[in-house]
Structure 1
């Protein structure tokens, strides 16, 4: 009796599975279906507070998903170094890097390419800002009076918040920051640099001019407490960098289509969140000056 009952249950189970299989759409294991299921992931250096970054790049993900007809996702990282590491490990395939972090990432991933940059990025600058208590006034000449003051850079891996300001400090004052300033700090991002100098925690700092201008326009800066005292000469900075192996996963024309999508980004609201007036094509050789500068100040080893 028990044996017959088990046979009946088995038969009913097989019948149920067969009916479900015949009613369900077939699932193909072709390469095309495998590729379409992949998610294209990108990140960005955390140069501002996380809320601003999330809002900005979630919009970019929606835009790219519509343009490329694939799943696209933005993931935040905690530091500039983490952005480079995620790119190296293929946890992200695209990143919005600064000049220095982009050079570092491309050296770690042969074949990767700078594919687009903001219209303003070939002519980027940094501001040296000072608290009113420092007594330093704006000047077209390099402010030698910053010597002996407390000074904060942004992230150690920042082009506009560390590399280029340090280069111009060394060039004009003839020594390294640790010997020129009474205290040297690294705030982590440009928004924090502004806050630290505005509060008086540091007398002087270096900041991305775009972040300063945007916060000033938003009324977040008290000009009675902190002001720009010097603007650096221009240099190339931010760019979108893409891993060189993306065509293997998303098709032979993927890099071309992605570049066209980035350069074609023209939504005023989306552009304003960067803020940039538009994007233009870029390539690796545009950032040779950044590599040369990083080598000259010892941030990058020339032999690697």
Structure 2
């Protein structure tokens, strides 16, 4: 085979590989912690995914994950490009990747997020009343459904593992409400945003289920990417979120589904208190 022909074939093969590589990079793989039912997560993301596709020029694919840990591993192991994390899952991803993940944006609401404790029992009116009772958290890796409620219980001198009759993990905020409503547990702790959404949609009977404690505020959710994502793509994604405007039909639909008034930039330093709470609660190695 002549050298020039070999070079031509080599160039063609290289060009094909580069073309395939470029094609592979045309997909933005997105996921979210499964803090609600998979169908609800898909419904919430659909218009946002279409919007991000327009703004970035990439095909945006939403891939649901089975549990919180899978969302962390997916991003850390390069199977996902961007994930909607809670504060604790972001801290876990930061820890697992040795700092190689970057939070881009959060909702305004995430600067001062809260959890609520709910019950159907008339005898439960404060955290101390939970002693000897049964309680459901959400997922073990949930910030607003486990870590922060546990942290505030510990601050109130209540150890969930020894002072309560039993604790359970429902896996998701809406499942916690169902567990409390159905009498499976005496009380539950969940994300205030999901609680307010379920109340607003009349999916919970507030004549039976009520909030008896609302936590102090803390930083929570954000959209996170890997640190090795190209800077121009990070900027396009960030700018797209920051440009969402509730005065436009498209912006209003997306923001309403995300339960946000608007998105703002965020940074890893915002989550140092979440990291400290996780270490103090024994949920992250010191």
Q: What TM-score, normalized to structure 1? A: 0.84
Partner Cα separation in structure 1 for residue 100 and residue 74 of structure 2 = 16
**Cα gap change, 1:136/1:176 in structure 2, threshold over 3 Å: closer, same or farther?**
closer
Larger radius of gyration: 1
Q: How does 1:1-304 map to 2 (within 5 A)?
A: 29=16, 31=18, 34-38=21-25, 39-109=27-97, 110-131=99-120, 133-137=121-125, 142-172=126-156, 174-247=157-230, 252-266=231-245, 267-302=251-286
Structure 1 residues 236-270: Cα deviation after superposition (integer angstroms, max 9, x where no partner): 000011101111xxxx4111111111222231111
Partner Cα separation in structure 2 for residue 287 and residue 176 of structure 1 = 24
Structure 1 residues 72-98: Cα deviation after superposition (integer angstroms, max 9, x where no partner): 111001111111111111110100000
Partner Cα separation in structure 2 for residue 272 and residue 91 of structure 1 = 29
Q: Is the 8 A contact 1:45 1:77 kept in 2?
A: yes
Q: Is the 8 A contact 2:119 2:187 kept in 1?
A: yes
Q: Is the 8 A contact 2:128 2:158 kept in 1?
A: no
Partner Cα separation in structure 2 for residue 134 and residue 203 of structure 1 = 10
Partner Cα separation in structure 1 for residue 132 and residue 163 of structure 2 = 6
Unpaired stretches in structure 1, ≥5 consecutive residues = 1-26
- 1:220 Cα offset (Å): 0.6
Structure 1 residues 200-230: Cα deviation after superposition (integer angstroms, max 9, x where no partner): 1111110100000000000011112210001
Number of paired residues? Answer: 266
Q: Is the 8 A contact 1:153 1:205 kept in 2?
A: yes
- 1:148 Cα offset (Å): 1.0
- 1:35 Cα offset (Å): 2.3
Q: Is the 8 A contact 2:153 2:160 kept in 1?
A: yes
- 1:107 Cα offset (Å): 1.9
Q: Is the 8 A contact 2:28 2:61 kept in 1?
A: yes
Superposition RMSD in Å? 1.6
Q: Is the 8 A contact 1:46 1:79 kept in 2?
A: yes
Partner Cα separation in structure 1 for residue 285 and residue 44 of structure 2 = 33
- 1:175 Cα offset (Å): 4.1
